[in-house]
């Protein structure tokens, strides 16, 4: 399956086009323009250590974006 349109159904799972590698996945995203898709403002947040998150600043950023 190389495309999808609303309502499409795949009845034979052997026809799924798997992702043989991350590189193939990344190239598909770029080729199809998905890397340019945005729904709103991106707020980056390092969650590797929750104790270091500045929640007041995060809430202020969210309020500012609304």
Domain ranges of the chain: 13-65
Sole residue written with tokens 């799972």:
13
7: left (phi over 0), alpha (psi -120 to 50) or beta: left
pTM exceeds 0.75: no
Tens-place pLDDT, residues 8-58: 777 776 666 676 678 888 888 899 998 888 888 889 999 999 999 999 999
Q: What is d(CA 64, CA 66) in angstroms, rounded to the nearest whole number?
A: 6
């Amino acid at each position: 399956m190389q495309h999808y349109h609303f309502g499409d159904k795949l009845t034979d799972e052997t026809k799924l086009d798997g992702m043989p590698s991350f590189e193939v996945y990344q190239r598909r995203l770029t080729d199809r323009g998905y890397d340019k898709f945005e729904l709103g403002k991106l707020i980056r947040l390092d969650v590797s250590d929750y104790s270091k998150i500045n929640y007041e600043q995060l809430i202020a950023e969210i309020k500012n974006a609304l």
